[in-house]
Amino acid sequence: MSQYFDSGDETLWNPSNGASRLFRRQVAVFEAELELSSGIGPMENDECQIDPDTFEVFVNALLAQRRRTSHAILLALSEGFTATVLALAERAGITVDWAQLESAPDGAPEATGMSAPTEGRARGTGLRERARELERHMAR
């Protein structure tokens, strides 16, 4: 069994029920963290719609949040979700503001200790490559 993430009449992703359930739970976590709707609608009859305008705002807010931290644990916890969202964004034709991710974090790190390297370009390139890798494994 599987579920569908659609934008209009186009299927962006058709994951298994388990992958879909975990992803949607992570969506709720990041919506709460960002205090922002993702644009990913409810799953009804194994289908949900993604509103591209709302999703674009969410995607770029997620990247802005990632840019603001150099905390290794926060980056690790968010990397897989962020890469998956970016793969969906690419399929939806969303404009991703990669430049904001590739520059150094603003101000002080979000948390002290456990800091990760802050080389923005390397972080942005790595995340972009991870998103491309995941996209190849995301069934339509």
pLDDT value at residue 95: 87
pLDDT value at residue 119: 53
Q: Of the candidates 99, 95, 102, 92, which has an alpha carbon nearest to the alpha carbon of residue 135?
A: 92
pLDDT value at residue 135: 94
pLDDT value at residue 31: 98
Find all residues with CB under 8 Å of 106, minimum gap 6, and list them. 67, 68
pLDDT value at residue 64: 92
Helices (H), 1-140: 17-34, 52-67, 72-92, 98-102, 120-136
> What's the predicted TM-score (pTM) here?
0.85
Domain ranges of the chain: 4-136
Predicted confidence pLDDT, tens digits, the chain (140 residues): 799 999 999 999 999 999 999 999 999 999 999 999 999 999 999 999 999 999 999 999 999 999 888 899 999 999 999 999 999 999 999 988 877 666 655 554 444 455 554 455 555 678 999 999 999 999 99
pLDDT value at residue 97: 80
